[in-house]
Amino acid sequence: MHPGTTANPSLDISIRTVGGITIAELAGELGLARAPALRGQLLRVLRPGSSQLVIDLSRVSFCDASGLAVLVSTARRARPLGGFLRLAAVSPQVSRVLNITGLHRHLATFPAVQAAATGAQAAQQGKPDAAASGRAARAHPGPAHRRTEAPPVPADAGELREAVAALLACADAWHDADPNRRFTPALRAMDRARDGTDDTALDTAARSLLSVLARHPLTPSPAVAATATRLRRVLNPAPRLATT
C-alpha cells in the first residue's frame, strides 16, 4: 500500500493502491467547489497499467451535478486505458442523486470496496459491471418485441444545448417563480456548464436542476412549465421498441 491524503475544509480525498486497484476514499461534500480537486487527483492516477479505480462514497454527505460529472468523465477516461471506475458503498445521499439523474444505469455500483475491487456483482441490485452487461446483451439479444428504454445519458448534445438555452433565456421567470431561491445554484451550475464544451457536464447539470424541481415545485408559470417540459423530454425521451 502507498497511502496519500489530500485534505480541504469540505472534502477529504484519501488514495491508496491495493493489488493494482486504486481506491479513493471520499469524505464530506462533493460539490462545485471541490470537484476540480477530485478531478485532478483522479486524473493523476489514471495511466496505462493504473486505470482501475474504486471510489468509496460511504462518507460523502452531498453530491451535485459537478461532482457527478467528475465521476462520469473519469469513467470514460478509464475505459480506453483498459480500466474502469466503480462506485462502492454509496451513501444514501449520493444514491438518491444517482437514481434521480439516471446515472445509476451507467456507473457500476457495489455494496462494498472489496466487492468493487474484485468485480463481484452488486448485492441487492442484480446489476453486473457495465462491460459484462454489454457482453451479455450481445450474446443473448432479447426478442424484437421486447420494450426497452433509451438510455438517459447522454442526451442529444444539440437538442440539449437548445433546451438549456431556452430555459436560461427565461431565467427571470424561474427566479420570479422561486422566491426562496432554491433553484439558483442549479441554474448557475447549468449556465456555467453551457459555457463549456463538456456535454456530459451539461447533461448532468440539467438533470440536477430537474431533480431539484422534483423536490421543490415552483410557483406555476407558463414559461417555467414550457422550458422544464422541453428539457425533461430531451433528457428522458419516450421509450422506443428495440429493433434487431
Per-residue pLDDT tens over the stretch 160-217: 888 999 999 888 889 888 888 888 888 888 888 888 888 888 888 888 888 888 777 7
C-beta of residue 3 within 8 angstroms of C-beta of residue 16? yes
Give the residue from 109, 139, 169 where a domain finishes: 139
**Do 128 and 53 share a domain, yes or no?**
yes
The DSSP 8-state label assigned to residue 216 in this structure reads S
How many whole angstroms separate alpha carbon 188 and alpha carbon 200? 16
Whole-model pTM: value is: 0.51
CA max distance for the chain:
58
**Do 170 and 135 share a domain, yes or no?**
no
Return mean pLDDT, the chain. Answer: 77
Count of domains observed in the chain: 2
How many whole angstroms separate alpha carbon 200 and alpha carbon 191? 14
Assess if residue 244 is contained within a domain. no
Q: What is the pLDDT of residues 107-154, one digit of tens each?
A: 889 999 999 988 754 333 434 444 444 443 344 444 443 433 334 445
Compute the Cα dihedral for 33, 169, 232, 129 and give only its sign: negative
How many whole angstroms separate alpha carbon 98 and alpha carbon 34? 18
Compute the Cα dihedral for 92, 89, 59, 13 and give only its sign: negative
Once rounded to an integer, what is the mean pLDDT over residues 13-24? 89
**Do 57 and 164 share a domain, yes or no?**
no
Q: What is the pLDDT of residues 26-75, one digit of tens each?
A: 999 888 788 888 888 898 888 888 889 999 999 998 888 788 888 988 98
Predicted local distance difference test score (pLDDT) of residue 22: 92
Helices 184-195, 65-78: crossing angle, 10 deg rounding: 40
Between residues 25 and 239, the one the model is more confident about: 25
**Do 25 and 69 share a domain, yes or no?**
yes
pLDDT interval class at 155 (50, 70, 90)? low
Q: What is the CATH number of the domain that holds 77?
A: 3.30.750.24
Assess if residue 86 is contained within a domain. yes
The DSSP 8-state label assigned to residue 129 in this structure reads -
Residue with cell 412549465: 225
**Do 119 and 163 share a domain, yes or no?**
no
Residue 203, judged by CB atoms within 10 A of its CB (0-12, 13-18, 19+), counts as buried
* CB half-sphere exposure, 67, CA atoms < 13 A: 25
Q: What is the pLDDT of residues 74-109, one digit of tens each?
A: 988 888 888 899 999 999 989 888 888 888 888 889
Predicted local distance difference test score (pLDDT) of residue 244: 41
**Do 132 and 222 share a domain, yes or no?**
no
Predicted local distance difference test score (pLDDT) of residue 146: 41
Range(s) of the domain holding residue 187: 157-235
**Do 22 and 116 share a domain, yes or no?**
yes
